[in-house]
Amino acid sequence: MEYIIKNGTVYDPTNKVDGEKMDICVKDGRIVESVSNNATVLDANNKIVMPGGVDSHSHIAGAKVNTGRTLRPEDSKKDIWNREGLRKGSGFSVPSTYKTGYQYSGMGYTTVIEAAMPPLIARHTHEEFIDLPQIDKAAMPLFGNNWMVLEYLKAGDLNMCAAYVAWLLKATRGFAIKIVNPGGTEAWGWGKNVHGLDDEIPYFGITPRDIVRGLAQVNEMLGLPHSIHVHPNNLGHPGNWETTLETMECVKDIKAKPKFGKRDTVYYNTHLQFHSYGGTSWKDCVSKGVEMAEYVNKNDHLMVDIGQITLDETTTMTADGPMEYDLHMTNGLKWANCDVELETGSGVVPFIYSPKGPVYSLQWAIGLDLFLHANSDKVILTTDHPNAGPFIRYPRVIAWLISEEYRKDWIENRVHKWAAQKSHITDTDREYTMYEIAKITRANTSKVLGLSDDRGHLGLGARADIAIYDIDPEEKNGKKIEKAFLEASYAFKDGEIVVKDGNVVKEVFGNTIYVDAKINEELEAELMKDLTVRFKKYYSVNIENYPVQEAYANQWEPINIDAT
Ligand code: MFN
Ligand code: ZN
Ligand code: ZN
Q: What is the DSSP string of 462-526?
A: SB--EEEE---TT---HHHHHHHHHS-SEEEETTEEEEETTEE-S-----EEEEEEEE-HHHHHH
Residue 31 domain flag: no
CA quadruple 128, 130, 136, 139: dihedral positive or negative? positive
* Buried residues in 140-165 as b, exposed as e (16+ CB within 10 A): bbbbbbbbbbbbbbeeebeebbbbbb
CB atoms within 10 A of CB 409: 13
The residue segments making up the domain with residue 438 are 50-504
In a domain, 480, yes or no: yes
- The domain tally of the chain equals 1
Percent of the chain at pLDDT exceeding 70: 100
Contact present, 109 and 135 (Cβ < 8 Å): yes
Is 548 within the bounds of a domain?
no
- Mutation test residue for ligand 1: of 277, 282, 361, the one with most atoms within 8 Å of CB: 282
The mean pLDDT value for 315-333 works out to 98
Which whole number is the average pLDDT over 491-502? 98
283: domain CATH number is 3.20.20
Q: Residue 177: what residue type?
A: I
Look up residue 172 and give its amino acid. T
pLDDT of 536: 97
552 C-beta neighbours (distance < 10 Å), count: 17
Closest approach atom of ligand 1 to CA 358: 24
**φ, ψ of residue 223 in degrees (nearest 5):** 70, 40
231 Cα–ligand 2 center, Å: 5
- HSE-up (13 A, CA, CB side) for residue 296: 31
In a domain? residue 435 = yes
CB-CB contact of 368 with 272 (8 Å): no
Q: 60, 359, 418: which to mutate for ligand 1, most atoms within 8 A of CB?
A: 359
Nearest CA to ligand 1 atom 11: 236
- pLDDT mean over 128-154: 98
Query: Which of 270, 272, 327 gets mutated to test ligand 1 (max ligand atoms within 8 A of its CB)?
Result: 327
For residue 307, the Cα-to-chain-centroid distance in whole angstroms is: 9
pLDDT by residue (tens digit) across 76-134? 999 999 999 999 999 999 999 999 999 999 999 999 999 999 999 999 999 999 999 99
Alpha carbons 447 and 427: distance in angstroms, whole number: 31
pLDDT in tens, 350-392: 999 999 999 999 999 999 999 999 999 999 999 999 999 999 9
Task: Tell me how far the alpha carbon of residue 124 lies from the centroid of ligand 2, in angstroms.
Answer: 19
pLDDT tens-digit readout, 40-65: 999 999 999 999 999 999 999 999 99
Handedness of CA 471, 476, 479, 485 (dihedral sign): positive
CA of 359 to the centre of ligand 1 (A): 3
For ligand 2, the distance from its centroid to the CA atom of residue 11, given in whole angstroms, is 30
Over residues 248-288, the pLDDT tens digits come to 999 999 999 999 999 999 999 999 999 999 999 999 999 99
pLDDT digits (tens, 9 = 90+) for 223-239: 999 999 999 999 999 99
Q: Is 176 helix (H, G, I), strand (E, B) or coil?
A: coil
Q: Which ligand number lies closest to the CA of residue 235? A: 1
Take atom 31 of ligand 1 and give the residue whose Cα is closest. 330
Domain presence at residue 175:
yes
Closest CA to 68 of 351, 322, 273: 351
> What confidence score (pLDDT) does residue 334 get?
98
How many angstroms is it from 331 CA to the middle of ligand 1? 9
Eight-class DSSP state of 275: G
pLDDT at 384: 98
User: Does residue 541 lie within any of the structural domains?
Assistant: no
State how far the Cα of 393 lies from the Cα of 414, in Å rounded to an integer: 16
Give the pLDDT confidence score for residue 398 in this predicted structure.
Answer: 99
Ligand 3: centre distance to CA 271 (Å): 7
Pocket of ligand 1 (CB under 6 A): 116, 231, 235-236, 271, 274, 282-283, 316, 318, 327, 330, 351, 358-359, 384, 387
Nearest CA to ligand 1 atom 25: 358
The preferred substitution site among 230, 274, 284, 326 for testing ligand 1, maximizing ligand atoms within 8 Å of CB, is 274
Which ligand 1 atom sits closest to the C-alpha of 281?
14
Beta-bridged to residue 337, according to DSSP, are 347
What value does the mean pLDDT of the chain take? 98
ipTM more than 0.90?
A: yes
The answer to the question of residue 347 being in a domain is yes
Percent helix, strand and coil across the chain, each to the nearest 5: 35, 25, 40
Query: By C-alpha distance, which of 68, 54, 71 is closest to 113?
Result: 54
Instruction: Give a yes or no: residue 521 inside a domain.
Output: no
- Burial class for 37, CB neighbours closer than 10 Å (0-12, 13-18, 19+): exposed
Rounded Cα distance, 336 and 313, in Å: 17
* CA–CA dist 436, 417 (Å, integer): 29
Residue 180 Cα to ligand 2 middle (Å): 6
Q: Which pLDDT value is given to residue 190?
A: 93
Percent of the chain with pLDDT strictly greater than 90: 100
For residue 345, the surrounding DSSP H or E stretch is strand 344-352
Ligand 1 atom at minimum distance from 357 CA: 23
